[in-house]
Structures are given as structure tokens and as C-alpha cells.
Amino acid sequence: MAKIMIQGTASSVGKSILVAALCRIFTQDGYNVTPFKSQNMSLNSYITLDGMEMGRAQVLQAYAAKMEPQVYMNPILLKPTSDKKSQVILNGKVYGNYTAMEYHNLKPKFKELLKDQFEKLENEFDIVVMEGAGSPAEINLRDKDIVNMGMAELVDAPVILVGDIDKGGVFAALAGTMLLLKEKEKPRVKGTIINKFRGDVEILKPGLKMLQEIIQKPCIGVVPHFRLQLEDEDGAVEFNKEITGEIDIAVIKLPHISNFTDLDALKDEQGVSIRFISSLEEFGNPDLIIIPGSKNTIEDLISIRKSGIEEAIKVYSTYGTVIGICGGYQMLGNIIKDPYEVETQIKEIKGIGLLDIDTSFEEEKVTTRVSADIISTKILSQFKKCSLSGEGNGLYGYEIHMGTSTCGKDSMPLFNIKEKNGMKVQYEDGAINKQGNVMGTYIHGIFDSIGFREYIVNYLRNKKGIEMKKSENYEHKREKELDKLADIVRSSVDIDEIYKIMGIKK
């Protein structure tokens, strides 16, 4: 089996998207490929078909390799719950909550597990495209590293080092990273890639030559700056604050916002603007308010309460449309109880009170893939008028939450779950108020389905007197964008050299 590892001079230099590009290129070339990132830190997570939790970046990479995402692609996921503590997800399940030092001391325990898992991949795939995290030059973490050079050494993987020229200082970043590597690590780096370049590459060439002389490593590609409609890298999301379209959707930027990939399909809708608001001054008069998921629902509720945003949402709900997803759904209710102190030491807090639901946190996390039908009569009465694609009222997504919510007499269920992790089931999810303008759900990814997304956007268009439009299949669009990504990287990077580095003769 061949392998290659993409490491970077820092977070957000484009490692994830380059791994996705290589996965698609090698797949196009006829190889059986898988992505692999031993440890990811992100609040954007995903649920596999068997109910396991993993990072979203590896999900996109799996799609690039034309595979169903599986948890071995990201064995360790860290989900920050505060500045000093994270929930550790090991092989798709909650392992525990640990401080940074506690987790650092756990790493040697995970090392053998990672090695064993990787050895299994060697028997199943032609190529494994590995991704590092942050930078290999974080010398304070080097002694117990399991995601950068430590992982590369563990499985004897060659490394390509990536730098982001758009930020400035790329030559210093690449040279400085090489300087801080141990002498035994430096030969493992086989070349560099300059990412996010704007301008004439001829002007860059003298710098590339000087860099090669300094670090004694060839530059094997200069990737141009590009914009494709693909998920943002975990640490590189741009929280836009401007209204750029005729439909203004405002998303509350919670301090512990999670799964903001829920909004990606909406972003791609024609004339739709997604902006994030974190202060009362930014609120404006949007066509739709979305309260997204949160890794710490209670603290985030307190935050928007203190900022005045909660009161603004209440006023807005008298004439506008509000949707809460997961943590945002919980916030919209009457009360949130945390009897086991799952999130904080606050055992009970009053909700925003726009949905007649009560929520209680449980000790066990729910992680399921689901498909559902809309059952709300408030939505179904308008659905046919606003949905033009003929996709029907079904939708799909996934649940990741600690709480359970129950509807009171002044709210009605929103969806009927008909399948969970591949099993036929029958239970209700979410809630909608009697007026039909405030709704919430535990289902992440609800806008990926054409029917519900098209209904919501056309409902907003219809209210403003704007012509309604058909929506495009999000998965088909993603496939086209991944092929475009592969074309861009194939034309700007010496792919034959990467095959040589991996020991594959072309």
C-alpha cells in the first residue's frame, strides 16, 4: 500500500481541501483510496451509517474518494466545550471530557490503537491520503504527537508540507517549520506546496528557487486561490456579516457554534445570503433567523440573553420566521434542565419561550442517521405551492445531541422519523408553534434535502413577492465541484512527482 501525508505550516492553510483533491485525483486514476486523519479538533461533526461520530472534513474527503464516510477515517475527534476542555470522541463514541493536559497525557495510550487501525487500512486500500493537524513545528507538543510527525513516523509515511501564501509570510513559514523539525524528521519531508496563490506565478519563481536552496526541498506545486462551493475547512470558515442576496438569512453566531455545515446547501441557493450575527447592532430585519447547533447550549443561551439578541428574536418572532437546529431548537423552548451537569453546573435555565417544549439533558449522547417526513400541517398546507422540484416532503440528516425534548399543548411535532441507522422506526421529532412561523428540530443537515430547502427558500421568496425557483440537488452539485477541485490541483501540482514519492510507478 502507498501513502502520502499532507502537513501544514499552520491551521487553515488548506490541508483538508488538498487531501480531498488528492483523494479525487487518485480515485479518477483508478486507485482504491481512503482519507485518514488520526486526530481532528472541530465542532463540525457527522454521523456515519452505523451511528458513529466523526469530523466533517473527513466526510468531504470520503466523498472525494467516492466512499461512504466511515469512522476509521477520523479515529479521534476533539470537540471543545470550553477554552480548556474538550469532549474526546474515540472511534465514533464519547470517551470522556478532558482538559488539554489530561488529553496530552492520554496520547501514548492511543498510539498503539492508531497503529493497529492504520495497518488494517494497508491491506484494504491502494493509497491512504493522510492529513496532519495544525503544524508539526509545535515543539511543545512534539514528545507525544500522534497527528503530525509522530503519526508519520508511526506508519513511515512521506510528507508534503503546505504553506498559505494568501496570509503572507509563506517562505518564512515553510523555512521556519523545517528549521524547527528534528534532524531525523527533515528527510521525511519530500517537498512543499504553496497554496492560495493570486497573481503571476512567474513573479513567484525566484522566491521558490531561493526557498529550495534554503530548505533543500523542492516545490512541487503552486495552487491558485479558488472559490468552489464546497464545505469550509474546519478552522477556515468565513462568518460573513454582509447581506449579499435578495433573501437575507441571519444566523446567530453562538460562542460554541457547531455544525455550521448545516447551512452550506442554503448558501448555494440562488439569491440567498447567509450572514452571521453576534451583536444586537448586526440584527437588522432578516427574512429568516436560524439559531444553529451548539456544543454548550446553556452557556450560549446565557450569552445571547446578555447581548440582547434573545429579546430581539422574541420581537422578530411576532412577524418573522425562526428555525432552531439542535441546540438552537432547545433554546427556543420553555426550559432546559441539566440534572447530571452534562454541560455546566447550572441544573436548570429558562428558555426563550417561543416553542412549547421542555428539554432535559441525558448522560447518553444520541448519534443517529435518520430519514423523515414532514408531518406539520402548517408546512404541508403550503408545501405544494412553494416546492417546484417535485421531490416530495421527505428529508434526511443526522442527530447529535444529549437532550430529549417533549412538546406541550401549544406546539405540534414537525417531522416523523421513519428510519434510524438503516432500521425502520416511527417517532416524532421537532416542534412548530400554532402560528407556523417558529420551528425547531434535532436533525442536522435538513437543508441538504431538496424538498425542505426549496420549500423554505420559496416560502421566503413568495412573502417578498420574488419569483420562486427550483432547487438543485446538493449531492450532484458537490460531485461537480469535487471534479473541478481535482482539475485545479492536477493542473497546478506535479502529480507524477507525488506518485514517485509514494513509490507508485506511472
Q: Which residue has the cell 456579516?
A: 241
Please count the other Cβ atoms lying within 10 Å of the Cβ belonging to residue 237.
17
Task: State the Cα–Cα distance between residues 129 and 120, nearest whole angstrom.
Answer: 15
Cross-strand partners of 415: 374, 429
Rounded to 10 degrees, the C-alpha dihedral 222/227/229/230 comes to: 40
Task: State the Cα–Cα distance between residues 11 and 140, nearest whole angstrom.
Answer: 16
In three-state secondary structure terms, 191 is strand
| DSSP characters over 56-109 | HHHHHHHHHTT----GGGSSEEEEESSSSEEEEEETTEEEEEEEHHHHHHHHHH
CA-angle at 348, arms to 342 and 350, nearest 5°: 125
The single-letter code of the amino acid at 461 is R
Check if 407 is active-site: no
Task: State the Cα–Cα distance between residues 78 and 94, nearest whole angstrom.
Answer: 10
Active-site residue, selected from the candidate residues 23, 219, 256, 326: 326
Task: State the Cα–Cα distance between residues 289 and 270, nearest whole angstrom.
Answer: 18
Task: State the Cα–Cα distance between residues 418 and 425, nearest whole angstrom.
Answer: 5
H/E/C letters for each residue in 322-367?
Answer: EEEECHHHHHCCCEEECCCCCCCCCCEEECCCCCCEEEEEEEEEEE
Q: 194 is written with which cell numbers?
A: 504553496
Active-site residue, selected from the candidate residues 386, 401, 407, 444: 444
Q: Which residue has the cell 497503529?
A: 115
> Catalytic residue positions?
326, 444
